[in-house]
Chain A
Amino acid sequence: MTRCTRFEDEGLALLEAGRELDEHFAVCADCRAARAAYERLGQALAAAGAELAPPPGWTARVWARLDERRERRRRGWLLAPAAALAAAALAAVLWVVPSRPPPAGLRLEVAVESASGRRGLEAQPGDRLVLRAAAGGRPHAELRVYRNDRELVLRCAGEPPCRRRGDTLEAVVELAAPGAYQSLLLAADAPLPPPAGTLDDDAGAALDAGADVAMGDEVDVR
């Protein structure tokens, strides 16, 4: 005989939404047992971490941090005239001997295009993830998107569905299945290592190879 799963399927959501449960949940033995189990789980969650407390002296360290910062700012003000002179001198040197400006930093912007009008970083299957990145002047750059940190759902470096124009790399990817979608921008002066595993493995391999890595906001698809 199959077990009734209505409490897990519907009852939990109804309770979290503050709505009443219908008669079924009062008479169904499976649902009553499931409800009791989730009440115990809630109690266990409430008690979890009760033993955790910040280490002694932490408030003193906050005050020390604030005082140290205030002192640094005060010194900064005192040294401001000298710093301005130094900056002027440096500017003069750079004007005489112009050098190549440092490459701009990496940037990765994440947005969701939703037919349902949802906003923010929550989406539903069928919505589209729009990525726009600046590669910081690096010749080798890739956009990657991982679902649940494990499944690589997008990898491109300029070919469709990516498009590279100068330093800008753009991509649109359909969010086909529920899950947490994490976007990465990898950029380097040398070719990037190919993806081989999870988000952590691949980001780590890229960092080990001397690449820069930028992470976008995570998008939750439900």
Chain B
Amino acid sequence: MATADETLAISDPERRALAALDRADPRAALAVLMEAYGTPLYRFCRQLVGDDALAEDVLQMTFVQAHDGLPRFARRSSLSTWLFGIARHRCLDALKAARRRRARFQLVADPPEAPDGGAAADERLAARSLRGALRRCLDKLAPAVRTAVLLRFQEDLSYPEMALVCGARPPALQARVARALPALRRCLESEGVRP
């Protein structure tokens, strides 16, 4: 029978990954982390780099780099915070490379909508309109600002966690987000969308 600790470990990807590291098994740790954080990291990267293929490439590079770093992981932050820090660096590298190719911040078309039987057509249209406008407005923010907004609102990170990911102090990040919100609101209103 599993002990309480073992049950807790199985329910928590961080603990499972750390346990794998304790067993000197970084591949097992990486498998746990990819399953737990692959989707949020992809979402973060996709909205930072603005391109499906580039986002997957950055996601892959993030986990390849994580695999190399896992044996030396110092446990000064959570594994998820550490992963977001790696992903942020790789995204910024990708953005700079894309800039050099003059393909920076290209807006991609909205992905096809999944049928939603519950919502009325006009509600779906409004949601799609808001989502598209929000994506365009997020895209207009500087990468550092966009990063802070995404981590704050989508990944629900605390400011101390964001500071570890972004390498900036929490007050600077708080100010960055507080300045971004009115800019986003004005941008949405200019697109005819009222939040």
Q: Which residues of A contact B (CB under 8 A)?
A: 8, 12-13, 15-18, 37-38, 40-42, 44-55, 58-59, 61-62, 65-66, 69, 120, 122, 148, 180, 199-200, 203-204, 207, 213, 215, 218, 220, 222
Main secondary structure of the interface of A (DSSP, over half): helix
Q: Which A residues touch B185, using CB under 8 A?
A: 37-38, 41
A117 to chain B, nearest CB (A): 12
Chain A residues closer than 8 Å to B178, beta-carbon distance:
12-13, 15-16
Q: Using Cβ atoms and an 8 Å threshold, which residues of chain A touch B35?
A: 59
Whether A48 touches B102, Cβ cut-off 8 Å, given contacts A54-B38, A122-B168, is no
Q: Are B181 and A38 in contact (CB under 8 A)?
A: yes
Which residue of chain B has the shortest Cβ distance to A48 in the bound complex?
A: B134
Identify B38's interface contact among A44, A59, A200, CB under 8 A: A59
Question: Which residues of chain B (1-55) have a CB below 8 Å from chain A?
Answer: 30-31, 34-35, 38-39, 42-43, 46-47, 52, 55
Does A62 contact B39, Cβ atoms closer than 8 Å?
A: no
Task: Count residues on chain B whose CB falls below 8 Å from chain A CBs.
Answer: 57
Given known A-B contacts A17-B174, A46-B153, A62-B64, A220 and B144 have beta carbons under 8 A apart: yes
Q: A45-B154, A180-B142 are in contact. Are A55 and B175 (CB under 8 A)?
A: no
Contacts of A49 in B (CB 8 A): 43, 46-47, 150, 154
- A200–B104 CB distance below 8 A: yes
11 A–B contacts from the bound complex (CB under 8 Å): A13-B178, A17-B171, A38-B185, A41-B181, A48-B154, A52-B42, A53-B42, A54-B59, A207-B100, A215-B99, A220-B144
Contact surface of B with A, Cβ cutoff 8 Å: 30-31, 34-35, 38-39, 42-43, 46-47, 52, 55-56, 59-60, 63-64, 67, 96, 99-100, 102, 104, 111, 114, 130-131, 134-135, 138, 142-145, 149-150, 153-154, 156, 159, 167-168, 171-172, 174-179, 181-182, 184-185, 188, 194-195
Q: Is the CB of A203 within 8 A of B179?
A: no
Contacts A12-B178, A38-B185, A215-B96 aside, 8 further interface pairs with beta carbons under 8 A come to A16-B177, A37-B185, A45-B134, A46-B156, A48-B134, A51-B114, A52-B42, A54-B56
